[in-house]
Amino acid sequence: MFRSVVSVLGLAFVGFLLWRRGVPDGPALIEVVGVALAFFGGTLALSVWRLVKRNHP
């Protein structure tokens, strides 16, 4: 549950930064947005999957 909350907060923070500073151009788009979305999105998906399957400690 903690991991899913942190992932949602991370995605919200990335969204806030994109709203506040704008979408970066060029390779920074992939580096900043792509890696952050892949990390937080993947962590959120894995956490929700484990919670649904009840495969958590």
Q: For residue 8, what pLDDT is reported? A: 93
Q: Which backbone phi and psi does 54 adopt, to 5 degrees? A: 55, 40
Model confidence at 16: pLDDT above 90 = yes
Q: What sections of 1-57 are H helices per DSSP?
A: 2-21, 27-28, 35-53
Q: For residue 9, what pLDDT is reported? A: 94
Rounded Cα–Cα distance for residues 26 and 41 (Å):
22
Rounded average pLDDT over 22-47: 87
